[in-house]
Amino acid sequence: MASSGQFQLSKDAASHSKRVIDYVIRGPGRGKAFERMSDFVDCFSSRMAGTRELECAIDWAVAELRTSDFLDAQTEEFRMPRWSRGLEEASIVSPVRRKLSMLSLGYSAPTLPGGIEADCIVVHSFNELDSAAAQGLVRGRIVVFNQPWAGYDSTRQFRNHGPSLASKFGAVAALVRSVTPLAVDSPHAGVTLFDAAGATASPIPAACLAPDDAEALARWQRRQQTPRIRLSIQCSPTELDSIRSRNIVADLPGCDPAVAHELVVLCAHIDCWDVGQGAMDDAGGVFVAWEALRTIRQALQEHRTRRTIRLILFSGEELGLWGGRLYFEAHSSELAGRLSYMLETDGGTFDPRGVTCSGSAATTAALRTVLQPLESSLGACNVFEKLDGPDITEWASVGVPVGNLVTQRTGESADFYFQFHHSRGDTVSVQDPFEMDRCTAVMAVVALNLADASTMLPRGPEQAADKEPRLEA
């Protein structure tokens, strides 16, 4: 039975929150999240699902949770598709010779061993693709998508669905301008989807291009000179349901027999792309969430929360949110009525602004009181009404309030995160110890105050997640 009644913070919420904030901002917890994140990514840089590096990282994390944090940490295994990058290159062979900076997209098909060579057609929108196909300009060519940056959610549709649409029109390959606002010589990885709703296209070779290379190809086309491209992608063919990975679940147990079965969840994803170190996406999130649990325990050594606080480190996120979706499938009927709030951190661990939240006006109003102790010291007390948190949005469909930590580096635009996202630039150098401490404090205060509140968060109507399509295993 879920706890019922009017939502109120505990009488000690303000003093406990202050102790937690002081511990991580000025006390023994200062700099710990950054230090542990740095050690982790230097040891386990390329944590692609299905790789030995990721499995070793998971083994290390479980052992650390058990031996250093004395938590009951378990793994939950699941199956997902196999895809891995091999040798790859692309170049213009006419009207000039120039190497292109590229990365093959997840679930791309390989080229034949000798590669392919074909003229390209550059388009800037799906309407332009339709028009070019109607004129017979797509079949047998390499389609280059040079879409403008219009924010991540809109722009990623070209990466996700462009290659499958090009394939339906007879293209032999597709190259997509990287989904980033920064036009430098750096491609950004990601997945492309050949089984999306309404698409029955056969997989073709697909890659992302550095934005300046996509622009160069567009300039040649504007000069009425058709670029000819040579492309070689030696990735593994996609094999459905062929590899195993594991989510990590660790509990900080509640002490109140009446509500200890109720949960507050902090989560992030432990896997990353095979470029860069995955420090920002999402090792920063992993160690902010993890350090939040440590902070609660160490700053309030004499105190145990009423409810259980659960840490979940999802795997398989980058190749299609596999760990999050399969955790939902396995546990939604069991846990839907026991979850107060699920808070993910997968959008950077820069200067915290607040959190997002699904649910009703009552949900967000209650959550604002939870964040109130942060206002004077950190200012990160905003609650944004939005369905967010890639690995957990499906939980909103069964009424569970879900959200994501909202951060933004001071002095930078809201798109700063996407300058490094899925690229070789995602390294420890992007991260800042003070910002990570502040994020840790926010996560800890949210978890602590919800775990000790009189009831779980009020709920609102069920919300259907705007889900990314995935390969069906």
Cα–Cα distance list, 467 to 22, 153, 296, 471 (Å): 39, 12, 33, 12
The β-bridge partners of 314 are: 269
Element (DSSP H or E) covering residue 123: strand 116-123
Catalytic residue at 435?
no
**Coil/strand/helix, residue 296:** helix
Q: Which residues contact 127 (CB under 8 A, 6 or more apart)?
A: none
Q: Please tell me which residue in 317, 318, 344, 394 is annotated as part of the active site.
A: 317
On whether the CB atoms of residues 329 and 79 are closer than 8 A, the answer is no
Phi, psi (degrees; rounded to nearest 5) at 370 = -65, -40
Q: Do residues 252 and 297 touch, judged by C-beta distance below 8 A?
A: yes
By DSSP bridging, strand 72-82 and strand 88-94 are unpaired
Q: If DSSP codes are grouped into helix, strand and coil, which group holds residue 228?
A: strand
| Distance separating alpha carbons of residues 275 and 421, to the nearest angstrom | 10
b/e sequence 125-156, b meaning 16+ C-beta within 10 Å: eeeebeebbeeebbeebbbbbbbebeebeebb
**Contact by Cβ (8 Å): 327, 315:** no
Enzyme catalytic residues: 317
